[in-house]
Homo-oligomer: A and B are copies of this chain.
């Protein structure tokens, strides 16, 4: 379908080019969110970005490729955000021996339930499941993102005195819970209880996949 393997860069990336690329990415997020990925068209994305289709085809070969670029961006932002948030809890005075709540907060604030983003990824995932090469690309990238995020969570847990028993299982569980409960929260936006149950489930998972053991580096402060 599309060449999903990094094509050769045109020797230099002019300033202008980078800008229009970014504008296209921003516009696409809105369009995908509003129309749905499946119903989105190159036309609309360009219209929203204030370009014509020529600009699009000069920067991307397909909406798939564009989405993957968008995802990359998002993942990087999340990774940085999480790192920062966890670092922030670190400085904040004395650590109680047991304060999983703080870790939970840090994580949930950085990786929130984002209406638009949820819709877009859900649809794109379904789309990828229909297309084996794309599915593989997606699985690989997801694994990479998890690899970057997990150590952060694990470190945070260690600092409050809990050792993770099975790193991979915890990662899979957290993602499943995040995704699975996000829909529920979005479907029932008026009901705060749904959100509360989501967080309770996160607590259960964090506890179930870690054990009260010596944190690696700093047991308490």
Contact = CB atoms under 8 A, between A and B. Distances in A.
Given A186-B129, A187-B138, A197 B180 contact: no
A118 interface: yes
Interface string A166-203: 00110011011111110110111000011001101100
A183 B175 CA distance: 10
Contacts of A208: 204, 208
A40 to B, nearest CB: 8
B176 A180 contact: yes
A216 interface: no
A201 B39 CA distance: 35
Contacts of A172: 181, 184, 194, 197-198, 201
Nearest to A34: B130
A214 interface: no
Interface stretch (A101-109, A119-127, A155-163): A119-127
A135 interface: yes
Given A39-B39, A184-B176, A125 B127 contact: no
Chain A: number of interface residues, binned into ranges: 35 or more
B180 A126 contact: no
A129 B115 contact: yes
Nearest to A203: B208
Point out which of A130, A172, A186 has the most chain B C-beta atoms below 10 A from its C-beta.
A172
A188 B129 contact: no
A81 interface: no
B180 A175 contact: yes
Point out which of A39, A115, A118 has the most chain B C-beta atoms below 10 A from its C-beta.
A39
Contact of A36 (B38, B197, B204): B38
A126 B123 contact: yes
Interface of A: 33-34, 36-39, 115, 118-120, 122-123, 125-130, 135, 138-139, 142, 168-169, 172-173, 175-181, 183-184, 186-188, 193-194, 197-198, 200-201, 204-205, 208
6 tightest CB-CB pairs across the interface, nearest first? A38-B38, A176-B180, A180-B180, A119-B126, A179-B180, A176-B181
